[in-house]
Amino acid sequence: MAQKPSIPKGTRDFSPAEMVKRNYIFDTVKSVFQKYGYLPIETPAMENLSTLLGKYGEEGDKLLFKILNSGDYLKKADSALLAEKASNKVITQLSEKGLRYDLTVPFARFVVQHQNEISFPFKRYQIQPVWRADRPQKGRYREFFQCDVDVVGSNALLNEVELIQIVDDVYRLLDINVVLKLNNRKVLSGIAEIIGAADQIVDITVAIDKLDKIGLDKVNEELASKGLSQEAIDTIQPIIMLSGTNAEKIVKLKEVLSKSEIGLKGVSELESVLNYLDVLKLDLEVELDLTLARGLNYYTGAIFEVKAKDVEIGSITGGGRYDDLTGIFGLKDVSGVGISFGADRIYDVMNQLELFPKADGAKTRALFVNFGGEDELYAMKTLADVRKAGVNAELFPDAAKMKKQMTYANRKEIPFVVLTGEVERKSGNVTLKNMETGEQSQLNLDELIKVISI
């Protein structure tokens, strides 16, 4: 027991059955991305630590997996820092690489590095694992896949709209009921501005974001504890408690934010996006939600988040506009907007709701029983013809007992078993057994292919 091998906390193995389901999600997402003109890229699992550090806030830095330098890494470290065990200061001397934390920052790095080969607007998607040194819990893993779509080099709000269309398409294809929550960082900045607390925008959004969980009183308490005056708190009450249709919310926001230039800009952006969406008549429910703040520091415009309606789990998709992400890497004035589908959470949702399609082309349709010798050769030849006809089929590798071979077929849920023994070989036919009904029949090759094809 003790010697049983294991895998690191928060990581998982995926069985063949699970991979078939996961690939269904990846294939669906990919097909939608490509339909909108996005093309794939990949970046390395590890990045230079300097690329990653400082991009996700102080919390994010702690959650980065750092990779120890090769060789005698302790020798190069400052002995004074080592002695005082100053982990934070010493780490950059011990590690210069880290596992990627998301796909957006590596993408920004990619854009800057390859700026001369890229023509803008640049639309790419990226489906790869990311790693976070979080404590695992429900719907939270240390290694998980993100499916990112981003477009950079265009300020047009049409891009925001297109991403929402993609969300609509993906979740319609996957048959998951979702609600897309929409907000705009400029609106949040405007709110901070009108109450004269522009530098506390983060505190305010974090507090407002908790409305669902802790309730209005606690939010107000938290705002007060962050140093907001009672007057300021009173001013933003109507905003925190905003209700009605999206259009009604827009009207109210315009009133409240009438003295904030940036706030009005945000409202107008939201309005434009919603107007576009009206034309498209999506299935997707889009809800203007000011409590949606998102912690990531780099969003500057639209913010999206998608939640599954029928399962209690964190957001399954999230994203937004970031005006200056590439600026950190030295390329100014390239605005981008993107979203990320959380494949693992989508998997959990679909699994719980049993939304995965049953029939599957990936499975074996027929097992050829191996009788050895001449019969084995006859089976191989027939099998090759069946495969040429496009049917997934396999031959049991050993001339094992029939019972064992039948059990194998049964366990693998293979619907047909083909018997090609001495009798069949001499007649040039095969015996086909339907594993569900138990019926058997004598068929020639063409008839066989016809019956076992999907």
Partner RNA sequence: GUGAUUGUAGCUCAGUUGGUUAGAGCGCUGGAUUGUGGUUCCAGAGGUCGCCGGUUCGAGACCGGUCUUUCACCCCA
Interaction residues for RNA, span 391-410 (CB under 7 A): 401-404, 406-407, 409-410
Strands 66-68 and 95-99: antiparallel
Only one of the segments 15-23, 130-138, 327-335, 353-361 lies at the binding site for RNA (rule: CB under 7 A); that segment is: 130-138
Q: Where are the beta strands (DSSP E) in 108-255?
A: 122-131, 143-152, 178-184
Q: Residue 278 contacts by C-beta under 8 Å, 6 or more apart in sequence?
A: none
Stretch that binds RNA, among 64-72, 242-250, 350-358, 423-431 (CB under 7 A): 423-431
φ, ψ at 434 (rounded to 5°): -85, 115
Instruction: Based on the shown chain and the rule CB under 7 A, indicate whether residue 427 belongs to the binding site for RNA.
Output: no
Exactly one of 39, 423, 441, 446 binds RNA (CB under 7 A); that residue is: 423
Q: How far is the CB of 148 from RNA (least distance, A)?
A: 9
Residue 139 contacts RNA per CB under 7 A = yes
Choose which of 213, 332, 358, 388 interacts with RNA (CB under 7 A). Answer: 213
Is 184 a binding residue for RNA by CB under 7 A? The answer is no
Which residue type does 114 have? H
Q: Cis link prior to 357 (omega < 30° from 0)?
A: no
Q: How far apart, in whole angstroms, are the C-alpha atoms of residue 230 and residue 186? A: 23
Q: Give the H/E segment covering residue 379.
A: helix 373-388
Q: Is residue 5 near RNA by the rule CB under 7 A?
A: no
Judged by CB under 7 A, the chain residues 368 through 387 that form the site for RNA are: 371
CB 38, CB 75: distance < 8 Å: no
Find the binder of RNA among 82, 118, 264, 296 (CB under 7 A): 296
d(C-alpha 224, C-alpha 215), whole Å: 15
- Positive or negative, the CA dihedral 345, 293, 248, 301 is negative
Tell me if 345 contacts RNA by CB under 7 A.
yes
Q: Which is nearer to RNA, 47 or 344 (CB)?
A: 344
CB of 282 to RNA, least distance (A): 19
Nearer to RNA, 115 or 364 (CB): 364
The one segment of 19-27, 110-118, 153-161, 291-299 that binds RNA by CB under 7 A: 291-299
User: What interhelical angle do 261-280 and 185-194 show, nearest 10?
Assistant: 150
Q: Measuring CA to CA, how many Å separate 37 from each of 95, 145, 192, 318, 436?
A: 38, 21, 38, 20, 44
Residue 52 contacts residue 105 (beta carbons within 8 Å): yes
Only one of the segments 25-33, 142-150, 187-195, 230-238 lies at the binding site for RNA (rule: CB under 7 A); that segment is 142-150
- Residue 285 lies near RNA (rule: CB under 7 A): no
Nearer to RNA, 140 or 265 (CB): 140
- Regarding 294 and contact with RNA (CB under 7 A), the answer is yes
Q: Does 135 bind RNA (CB under 7 A)?
A: yes
- Per the listing, tokens 């997402």 go with 29
* Minimum CB distance to RNA smaller for 224 or for 435: 435
81 is a contact residue toward RNA (CB under 7 A): no
Token pair of 381, please? 């030849």
Gap between the Cα atoms of 411 and 399, Å rounded: 18
The size of the interface with RNA (CB under 7 A), counted in residues, is 62
CB count within 10 Å of CB 12 equals 13
Give Cα 127 to chain centroid, integer Å. 8
Length of the chain measured in residues: 454
Q: Tell me the C-alpha distance between 176 and 307, whole Å.
A: 10
Q: Which is nearer to RNA, 136 or 327 (CB)?
A: 136
Neighbours of 247 (CB within 10 A): 12
Which of residues 67, 206, 242, 445 is near RNA by CB under 7 A? 206
CB of 376 to RNA, least distance (A): 12
Q: x/- contact string, 315-334, with RNA (CB under 7 A)?
A: xxxx----------------
Contacts with RNA by CB under 7 A lie at 1-2, 6, 8-10, 57, 59-60, 62-63, 102, 132, 134-142, 144, 146, 206, 210, 213, 294-296, 314-318, 340-342, 344-345, 371, 401-404, 406-407, 409-411, 417, 419, 421-424, 431, 433, 435-436, 438, 440
